[in-house]
Structure 1
Amino acid sequence: MTDILRISIPVTVWIAAFSAVYGLEGVICSDLWRAAGLSLGQGRGVLVAAWIAAIGLQAALLVALRRPRFASSQPWVQRVATILGYVALVATVWSLMPVVTTSLCL
């Protein structure tokens, strides 16, 4: 893994998860969801599962970045990648929390 990837992957995964979860919410609130015979309760379950999966992915990425196999030879790159891993994990929890705590399809 190159140093650029180590530094950029945590934030890239966060923005991809953010886009996917809120895009999924758009699908759930559309007429397509109800036309498929699915309820908003099922949609909430799917969103919660997606939120938990995004958190799990960020946590796994953080663990992987801290392993010697994926460690950088440059200590500052390792520090920056680890810090960005923590930031992306917190950002995932915080920015996707509204799908769990607020009402759907206002």
Structure 2
Amino acid sequence: MTDILRISVPITVWIAAFSAVYGLEGVICSDLWRGAGLSLGQGRGALVATWVAAIALQVALLVALRSRRFASPHPWVQRLATILGCVALVATVWSLMPVATTSLCL
């Protein structure tokens, strides 16, 4: 894994998860969701499952960045990648939490 990937992948995954979760919420609140015969309860389940999957992916990335196989030979890059992995994990939990705690389709 190159150093630029070690540094950029966790934040990129957070951005993709953010877009996916809120895009899915838009689909759930549209007529397409109900037209497919799905309920808002199923939509909530899909949102929470996507949120949990995003958190699990961030944790897996953080563990991988700390492993010998994917660790950087440069201590500075290793520390930066670990810090950014932690930041991306916190951002994933915090910014996607409303899908699990607030009302849908206001």
TM-score (norm 2): 0.99
1:18 aligns with 2:9: no
Runs of 5+ consecutive residues of structure 1 not aligned to the other structure = none
- Which ranges of 4 or more aligned residues in structure 1 deviate by more than 6 Å? none
Partner residue, 2:42: 42
Deviation at 1:9, TM superposition (A): 0.4
Cα RMSD after superposing both structures: 0.3
Deviation at 1:25, TM superposition (A): 0.3
CA shift digits 1:41-73 (9 cap, x unpaired): 000000000000000000000000000100111
Runs of 5+ consecutive residues of structure 2 not aligned to the other structure = none
% same residue: 86
Deviation at 1:102, TM superposition (A): 0.2
CA shift digits 1:13-53 (9 cap, x unpaired): 00000000000000000000000000000000000000000
The total of aligned residue pairs comes to: 106
SS of residue matched to 1:105: coil
Q: 2 CA distance for matches of 1:21 and 1:90?
A: 16
